[in-house]
Amino acid sequence: MSNVATQPETEQKKAGLSRQFVNFAVYKVDPAWRRLDPEVRSLGKDEFERVVKRFCDEKRCQILTYSTMGMRADGEIMLWVISYDLEPLQDLATELAKTGLGQYMGRTHSFLAQTKRSMYLDRFNPEHPEDRAHIVPGKYKYIFVYPFVKKRDWYALSMPERQEMMDEHIKIGMKYPSVKLNTTYSFGLDDQEFVVAFETDSPSDFLDLVQELRETKASSYTLRDTPILTCIAKDVKGMLDSIGG
């Protein structure tokens, strides 16, 4: 286990290892919005788009935009928001709620997490292109996101036992290089323990990966890994156009 990973955040900041807060927010539009005058709908979407772009231009946070329209019944768009502080996440949600479109939207899912270095060693690829404290997202067409909770029995196992099971998990993941895993941590921040986000250009590879992971020993220690969000990457305008109106 890395000594850095066990240091308090204040000590990590001194070492230049600031971590990132991550929020996956899914919104659903009130059907009443689609019955509004077309000009009113257009103005509302423009307002929403300007807020997203302003927060990005001011570098208050990084925002990646996705459409979930047609993928689930309980959501139509998703924002993947990344920031070094919690306040920009809240400010963004507040500003979006004030827009003409935001007044007709509600959050159906919202998962909050933070980056950190993994406590498990990747024996097969010890030198990662990313340091795990910083996410480099947005290079793929699709993303699959879900909250993740382990059974308490998992934490009662010794570290060598858990590492052995994670070795199997990691080895299977290596068979699918087209799928990139982003793991973030929610302990004490939200209801789940982790949020996992798989980026890929091949949904079929992701399906096969998840099916194979179900057969691992570590999978028997999973308590909850739903809801699963299937999202298609689009720019802000494309994301908003996908909701209709």
Asked if 119 and 188 touch (Cβ cutoff 8 Å), the reply is no
Hunting for tokens 């139509």 — which residue is that?
76
Which pair of tokens denotes residue 94?
């507040």
The 10s digit of each residue's pLDDT in 25-55 is: 999 999 999 999 999 999 999 999 999 999 9
- Return mean pLDDT, the chain: 91
* SS3 track for 84-108: CCCHHHHHHHHHHHHCCCHHHEEEE
Question: Per CATH, is 4-114+232-241 categorized as 3.30.70.1030?
Answer: yes
Orientation of helix 203-213 relative to helix 159-174, angle to 10°? 150
Orientation of helix 38-57 relative to helix 87-98, angle to 10°? 160
Would you kindly state where each structural domain of the chain is located, as residue ranges? 4-114+232-241, 142-231
Sign of CA pseudo-dihedral 31, 34, 37, 40: positive
The 10s digit of each residue's pLDDT in 90-137 is: 999 999 999 999 999 999 999 999 999 887 666 556 555 555 678 888
pLDDT category at 5 given cuts 50, 70, 90 is very low
4-114+232-241 and 142-231 in the same fold:
yes
- Please name the CATH architecture into which domain 142-231 falls: 2-Layer Sandwich (3.30)
Give the ranges where the chain is alpha helix by DSSP (H). Answer: 9-14, 38-57, 87-98, 152-156, 159-174, 203-213, 236-241
Model's pTM, two decimal places?
0.89
